[in-house]
Structure 1
Amino acid sequence: MPETLFDDAGAEAARGQEPLAVRMRPRTLDEVVGQRHLLGRGSPLRRLVEDDAPMSVFLWGPPGTGKTTLATVVSRVTQRRFVELSAVNAGVKDVRAVVDEARRRMGMHGTRTLLFVDEVHRFNKTQQDALLPAVENRWVSFIGATTENPFFSVVSPLLSRSLLLSLESLDEDDVRALVDRALTDERGLDGRYALSPEGADHLVRLAGGDGRRSLTYLEAAALVAGPALRPPPPSDDASGAVSSGAEPVTITAEHVERAVDRHAVRYDRSGDQHYDVVSAFIKSMRGSDPDAALHYLARMIEAGEDPRFIARRVVVHASEDVGMADPTALQTAVAAAQAVELIGMPEARINLAQAVIHISLAPKSNAVISAIDAATADVRAGRTGSVPAHLRDGHYRGAAELGHGKGYRYAHDFPGGVAPQQHAPDDLVDREYYRPTQHGAERRFSEVLQRIKDVLRGGGRRD
């Protein structure tokens, strides 16, 4: 029938117009790239797909890690009726309608329903509460996808009735595998394009562990590279040689740059450029130059440097270069590192920038690292000595007979909470490791430390 032919052709044309990332969505769990920790034999997702087990799960992870992909795979192989809602535009009425229909079908036909809610963190409390009876009574098997921490964005009763599965950003090998498949698969670019090594490196860096982004950028770069002829099937020429057809169009780093409008940052994470940029980043913070430090921070981020590595360097230098001159610098740095884990990129770049600016502008002191290095040097040199008897543990039987704890002065019984007594071993009683500077808050700590030492030394040496 002409109408049927038109419908089939229209459907085929529609599939051809779908984004590359949609066309390349896996059809089975074995085609899923990455997330190996969730796809092993006997895992909850395997049970949900292969055993059709009733359960509810939250898929939590950064964008492009495969949350929607996994739900789509489940929908294709499950024996259940599949219903998808987007929390962006669905309301309480929509949720209740799905639940009521699921109950009706289960009661009348024994048909079970799998409900997938994308961006579930956008549901308010009332909308989430509407899901509770269905999840608790297993009228539906529920899959919720979210990029935000469910412990903050999902009501506790719903979370406690579901499994929480954390997805991780794809590593470089995963992204390359995804891109290689899209280049050759008939659903993708079908061998009509090839990717130069430099183009692949730049594309992988830009993707930042986001599979969907990598395919979106690849599709855009292919458009920039120009149309490619579909290669004809192989055929024998007159000489008997086999012709492979048209040569694929090569997508270069320049094509990727033009498509994404992002310059290919020359940065080898295992070579000199990596160490040079990191060194300049650290020295710019130490040198109180926030603009230079931000430049190197942006350079590392744009080159695809692991943000956790950057955060670790910032935390280290909050103590190494600022220390007690501004104790809040460490708090800011640690908070930025936690934000990297909690929020992820690209948003966490703002938190990293705040920490970098804080450390750059803070008064500087290396007294902390100098102190611990000096103490460590003494210990390694064998300068330890015995713990003074009055500081030893006196709680076990026989300790009193050994004189342990005898003469200990409880600090809280003395003015200012400082008791005049010796704490260091006899051989180290005159050693000074922490020497405060006169910078920032450390000037005040210097005065406090001197007063404390005056009181401590009033206790005299215990022989």
Structure 2
Amino acid sequence: MVEIPLAARLRPNSLTEVIGQSRALIENGPLARLISGDQSGSWPSVILWGPPGSGKTTIARLIGNNEKAHFLELSAVSASVAQVRELIAKAKELKNLYDRPTVLFLDEVHRFSKSQQDSLLSAVESGIITLVAATTENPSFSVITPLISRSVVVKLEPLNDGDVLAIMNRALESDSGLPNATFETDALKYLAKISSGDARRALTLMEAAANGSGNSVSLESAKLAAQSTIVYDQAGDEHYDTISAFIKSVRGSDADSALHYLARMIAGGEDPRFIARRLMILASEDVGLADPHALVLAEATAGTVERIGMPEGRIPLAQLTIYLALAPKSNRAYQAINMAMAAVEAANTKPVPAALRSTGAVGYKYPHDDPRGVLPQTYRDGDEIFYHPSDHGFEAELAKRVEMIRKILAR
């Protein structure tokens, strides 16, 4: 039988067991009232914003222990709009028949698309449900404005090392923790430090160290356990290293490696919209005119991911990743605009030729009057060449056109 993880076994059962977050859990505050079931006033919907392991799920589960309300839980990673509507219908029935409020805990709300978040609005506004949403991202960017305006945003801070050490010591003292394990003080301090305020990560590393060291954990064995545990930190070096490796793999036309890094980001909880945005940039910067359709597909993928959310969003992301990796590559448009910008920034600008001005134009020749659609005409005072097409993909065809046009323009 698979054992329940240490972090889940040690989850507090009452407000007094919660370590840290004293500001968020202030007496008579919105969270304290929800946890206690205080019905002296209406219950506000709440958005819990904080880093991983800061107690968002713990607080939500404590609210769930409130017997005065019906508690429902959904994860935005896997929930659909249909499931949300089904839960709202059930909540409405409970309110109409038994006058019993419903609290809906929605974990990782930032993973919901706009349409999925929209489906919550009427129920929150009418009081059919009290929403408790958790997110690791700034709600101003990841949650729709109408939902924010109907909720109280409570920011949870990362736990300090002292709080994490207190939680780890509780694990050693609790019968449901690691009562048979012994840790050197330096080992505990090390694990607390590298956990960066994430209690769940600290307990996970602690359990891994105990399991790998026969319940007697030294500083060395704690370091070994930490090194062998794969962690994806969305705000740290791993985040930037992984997205960098992903982009470079696509640019290098290695579809399999690109899919590997894509899977690591998805499994680590990376925002799919961030991935889609980076692929849109790559489609223009690195594929460019070698396959102009790449940018169209990237934009369509971003819109699809926004509408359908996760986990289904992983499929169009994978499709786009493979397409871009296998597409012919050209960065000549990227280089061209950089060269043009450099020329402008060097103050290498001349007046617009008289024939091209919006007022008082003299001598403008209409290109469509020529059977070729192009005719000799001066479009600027200067002869710098910024665009140098490659012979990759569709751009090879553009290279022929550029050569023909520049001959006509006498460049």
1:196: which partner in 2? 187
Q: Give the AA of the match of 1:125.
A: R
Q: Does 1:119 align with 2:106?
A: no
1:215: which partner in 2? 203
What is the distance in 2 between the residues matched to 1:348 and 1:177?
39
1:289: which partner in 2? 254
**Alpha-carbon distance, 1:326 to partner:** 2.0
Q: Does 1:441 align with 2:406?
A: no
Which digits, 9 at most, give the CA deviation of each residue in 1:124-150, with x for residues without a partner?
634422423666999444321224527
**Alpha-carbon distance, 1:371 to partner:** 0.8
What is the distance in 1 between the residues matched to 2:193 and 2:7?
19
**Which of these residues, 57, 62, 83, is aligned with residue 73 of structure 1?**
62
SS at match of 2:135: coil
What is the distance in 2 between the residues matched to 1:277 and 1:364?
22
Gaps of 5+ in 1: 1-16, 77-81, 84-112, 229-246, 394-402
Q: Give the AA of the match of 2:345.
A: R
What is the distance in 2 between the residues matched to 1:135 and 1:414?
74
Contact persistence 1:56–1:143 (CA under 8 A): no
Which digits, 9 at most, give the CA deviation of each residue in 1:209-259, with x for residues without a partner?
98656635533543443346xxxxxxxxxxxxxxxxxx98985244467xx
Q: Does 1:152 align with 2:152?
A: no
CA gap of 1:431–1:289, structure 2 versus 1, over 3 A, is same
Compute the RMSD of aligned alpha carbons: 6.0
Q: Does 1:57 align with 2:57?
A: no
SS at match of 2:203: helix
2:381: which partner in 1? 427
What is the distance in 2 between the residues matched to 1:316 and 1:360?
13
**Which of these residues, 118, 129, 148, is aligned with residue 89 of structure 2?**
129
**Alpha-carbon distance, 1:382 to partner:** 0.8
**Alpha-carbon distance, 1:378 to partner:** 0.8
Q: Does 1:25 align with 2:6?
A: no
Bigger Rg, structure 1 or 2: 1
**Alpha-carbon distance, 1:308 to partner:** 8.4
2:146: which partner in 1? none
Q: Give the AA of the match of 2:337.
A: I
Contact persistence 2:164–2:202 (CA under 8 A): yes
Q: Does 1:369 align with 2:324?
A: no
Q: Give the AA of the match of 2:116.
A: F
Which digits, 9 at most, give the CA deviation of each residue in 1:291-330, with x for residues without a partner?
4555666788899999888776655433322112123434
Which digits, 9 at most, give the CA deviation of each residue in 1:353-381, with x for residues without a partner?
55443332110111111111111111011
Summarize the alignment of residues 161-176 of structure 1 with structure 2, pairs less than 5 Å apart. 161=126, 167-169=134-136, 174=159
Q: Does 1:329 align with 2:298?
A: no
SS at match of 1:252: helix
Summarize the alignment of residues 36-435 of structure 1 with structure 2, pairs less than 5 Å apart. 45=31, 48=34, 53-55=41-43, 57=45, 66-74=55-63, 82-83=66-67, 113-119=68-74, 121=79, 123=83, 125-132=85-92, 139-147=99-107, 149=112, 151-152=115-116, 154=119, 157-161=122-126, 167-169=134-136, 174=159, 179-185=164-170, 186-187=173-174, 192-194=182-184, 196=187, 200=191, 204=195, 212=200, 215-216=203-204, 218-227=206-215, 252-255=222-225, 283-294=248-259, 314-330=279-295, 335=301, 354-387=319-352, 403=359, 424=379, 426-428=380-382, 430-435=383-388
Contact persistence 1:135–1:141 (CA under 8 A): yes
TM-score by structure 2 length? Answer: 0.60
Q: Give the AA of the match of 2:88.
A: Q
Identity among equivalent pairs (%): 33
What is the distance in 1 between the residues matched to 2:125 and 2:378?
50
TM-score by structure 1 length? Answer: 0.54
What is the distance in 2 between the residues matched to 1:114 and 1:254?
45
Contact persistence 1:281–1:297 (CA under 8 A): yes
SS at match of 2:72: strand
Q: Give the AA of the match of 1:193.
A: F
SS at match of 2:71: strand
What is the distance in 2 between the residues matched to 1:266 and 1:18?
19
Contact persistence 1:56–1:141 (CA under 8 A): no
Gaps of 5+ in 2: 138-155
What is the distance in 1 between the residues matched to 2:387 and 2:27?
55
